[in-house]
Structure 1
Amino acid sequence: MSAFKRWPFLIFVCATFCGHALASAGDRSLEFQQCTLLCDSRECKIDSPSALPLMLRLTRWSCLDNCRYNCMHEITSNSQRPLQYYGKWPFWRFAGMQEPASVLFSVLNLSTHVRGYSQLKRRISPSHPLKRLYLVWSLASMNTWIWSAVFHTRDTSFTEKLDYFSAALTILTALYFTAIRIFHLYSPQSAKPTRSRTLVFRVWTTICVVAFTAHVTYLSSLRRFDYQYNIIFNLILGLTHNALWLLYALPPSMSLLRRFPNRPKSYRPSFAGTAAFLVTVTTAATTLEIFDFPPWQRIVDAHALWHLATVPISEAWYRFLIRDTNDPGWKDGQR
């Protein structure tokens, strides 16, 4: 996911679901356990079990997984109120995908970043000091949405970690370039960077690299994923990232820093408020995660709608970044 929207998603999703990731009311129920045990003994633990359909085998469904899926839907069909199983609502699968709507919307987000990457390359001057950083962030976002689609196709320990690690990398990448953008740590094109600026840039880069490496190493070394720590890590990154863009959006009379290298603090472009608006809209959209509800027709739930909501938000961020990099405040530093 785009980092501009991913951090609140992680916070609220983890807060809502992580405590239930290992067990939920549905899979703890005696009815489900008995149904699964019976199916397993009749369908799986026999001399010649029937082969699963090709798409289920390609997406790594086991016979026991299939028993759990069928029991879950059988119980749900005979119940007035659906329950969660292993931290998830019951969804109708499609072509082996556990949550096809979330997969579809993840792919839509991926396509948004692919188009955004192309726009960054085409509409930002090759000499702009932030172009390379923005392209790296865009690539990181593409990677995040690829693993989001994979994770929603099949939820395993491996795909879950890659989804979380990719999201953390995107958030950190966004914070990394935002700090460089806001505090002007980039190398000016028309002059040699000062020694102090170069030192701060290198220290900041080292901090980010070490932080991500330590984050992945710690979570990978545990027998059980530390969801609480993961929430805190992403929360700190996300809040810091948002605070920096809110500084950028302050009214001219309250400006605490220069927004552009060749303009005074009082210079504030007309689109500066867009940053604050997008931060606010992104946070507001997380209400889809807070007020979670069972999936409509076992297809679309609040989480899937959240993924859908991030598509236009990402497009708006790309437009904002392009406008910002083309502002006249940069022109004396570019060729």
Structure 2
Amino acid sequence: MGHHFAPVTSLIALVSTVLLLSASVHGSQGDKEPVYRDCVKQCVRTNCTGDRLRGFQSTQPPYMALTGWTCRDDCRYQCMWTTVGLYQAEGYRVPQFHGKWPFTRFLCFEEPASALASLLNGLACLLMLLRYRSTVPRQSPMYHTINAFSLVSLNAWFWSTVFHTRDTYLTEKMDYFCASAVILYSIYMCCVRTLGLRRPGVSSMVGALLILVFTSHVSYLTFISFDYGYNMAANTTIGMVNLLWWLCWCWQNRRTLPYWWKCGVVVMLLHGLALLELLDFPPLYWVLDAHAAWHLSTVPVHFLFYSFLIDDSLHLLNTEKTGVKLE
């Protein structure tokens, strides 16, 4: 979660963060069930001590050990499916466990479809960043800002992939914090493009302010309270400000920049695709859920996003050379 052009990034990071956070706030029906809890206790008592534990560790595949899967985790996984079977046998709806739907584990991947989707988003971002670098001269005014923004985005998609591979205290926090970093940097990018090219001092002030905001945000969540509600509200507020800012820019430049529509289409696409998250259905074939479907659907957006960035960067370079006033 993750995870881009400013409006794209805002929506990707915002929606994935909001839903991941909201899913983790409370315990779920499945892990509250006595049958599940008793199953886990019995499994741990039987299999996770003494010779049984050593046997488990000796037969565990190396990739499982390297990604931190423990005997207790394995008990939770097995008991989850036992509980799901009982629910289905009685005709009840499939429950969630620890804030998530039950997924079939593939190798070490806890949520294989979402992990793959995050990886594909990262690869698409990397591919188009390389194309951007080979197409746009370094002298373009937005070149370095876009490169830095892309690296922040790649980092977020990396942690989104890791988080969906293995949900731990560290990977959860890194996924959330990196998503917040992308949203805040997208505000900076927006400021540079709309104001900073004419008034560099404004960008420096906004950049310093955003660094302070991010530091305070992470410090509060790390050292005081990991408040899911606050984190969700903060990302929502920043994301909406960023989104509206870019929409205003599109509207103002619709008559002067022939490629403005690419920005508009990207924004509208992400609005529509984000609705997939609202479906929130049990995974098809225990693999593909709404979150994974949404992440998969955003992969092509990177290509249109970077097409816009290339057009805009070349336009800025040409206007700078000819001395035309920047939009």
Query: Normalising to structure 2: TM-score of the pair?
Result: 0.88
* Residue pair 2:281, 2:290 contacting (<8 A) in 1 also: yes
> Which residue among 317, 320, 327 is the counterpart of 1:333?
320
Higher percent of residues as helix: 2
Say if 1:296 and 1:174 are closer, same or farther in 2 by CA, change over 3 A. Answer: same
Residue 324 (1) aligns with residue 309 (2) = no
Aligned equivalent of 1:235:
236
Tell me which amino acid in the other structure corresponds to 2:265. Answer: F
CA drift of 1:277 comes to 2.0
Tell me which amino acid in the other structure corresponds to 1:331. Answer: N
Tell me which amino acid in the other structure corresponds to 1:210. Answer: L
Residue 35 (1) aligns with residue 47 (2) = no
Tell me the SS of whatever aligns to 1:127: coil
Tell me the SS of whatever aligns to 2:87: coil
Say if 1:142 and 1:12 are closer, same or farther in 2 by CA, change over 3 A. Answer: closer
CA drift of 1:141 comes to 0.9
* Residue pair 2:46, 2:52 contacting (<8 A) in 1 also: no
> Which residue among 215, 218, 229 is the counterpart of 1:216?
218
CA drift of 1:48 comes to 4.0
Which 4+ stretches in 1 moved above 6 angstroms?
none
Residue 164 (1) aligns with residue 184 (2) = no
Aligned equivalent of 2:197:
186
Separation (CA, whole Å) in 2 of partners of 1:5 and 1:67: 39
Gaps of 5+ in 2: 323-327
Separation (CA, whole Å) in 2 of partners of 1:12 and 1:23: 21
Tell me which amino acid in the other structure corresponds to 1:333. Answer: E
Say if 1:29 and 1:173 are closer, same or farther in 2 by CA, change over 3 A. Answer: same
Tell me which amino acid in the other structure corresponds to 2:296. Answer: L
Aligned equivalent of 1:200:
202
CA drift of 1:15 comes to 5.1
Say if 1:6 and 1:86 are closer, same or farther in 2 by CA, change over 3 A. Answer: farther
Aligned equivalent of 1:134:
146
Identity score, percent: 33
Separation (CA, whole Å) in 2 of partners of 1:304 and 1:113: 17
Tell me the SS of whatever aligns to 1:98: coil
Tell me the SS of whatever aligns to 1:298: coil
> Which residue among 64, 67, 73 is the counterpart of 1:59?
67
Matches within 5 A, 1:1-335: 1-2=3-4, 4-9=7-12, 11-12=14-15, 16=19, 18-21=21-24, 22-49=26-53, 50-52=55-57, 53-54=60-61, 55-80=63-88, 81-183=93-195, 185-186=196-197, 197-223=199-225, 225-250=226-251, 255=252, 259=253, 267-327=255-315, 330-334=317-321
Q: Deviations over 1:142-184 (max 9, x none)?
A: 111110111011111110111111111111112211111012x
Q: Deviations over 1:42-83 (max 9, x none)?
A: 111345422241232111011111100000012213332211
Tell me the SS of whatever aligns to 1:268: coil
Separation (CA, whole Å) in 2 of partners of 1:267 and 1:331: 18
Give the paired residue count: 310
CA drift of 1:13 comes to 5.0
Gaps of 5+ in 1: 188-196, 260-265
Tell me which amino acid in the other structure corresponds to 1:39. Answer: C
Out of 273-282 and 94-103, give the one that drifted further: 273-282
Q: Deviations over 1:279-326 (max 9, x none)?
A: 121121111111110001111111111110111112211111111222
CA drift of 1:95 comes to 1.4
* Residue pair 2:17, 2:176 contacting (<8 A) in 1 also: no
Separation (CA, whole Å) in 2 of partners of 1:13 and 1:179: 24
Q: Deviations over 1:241-292 (max 9, x none)?
A: 2112211221xxxx3xxx5xxxxxx852222122222112112111111111
* Residue pair 1:18, 1:87 contacting (<8 A) in 2 also: no
Q: Deviations over 1:92-131 (max 9, x none)?
A: 1111110111111111111111112111211112211100
Aligned equivalent of 2:325:
none
Separation (CA, whole Å) in 1 of partners of 2:151 and 2:223: 27
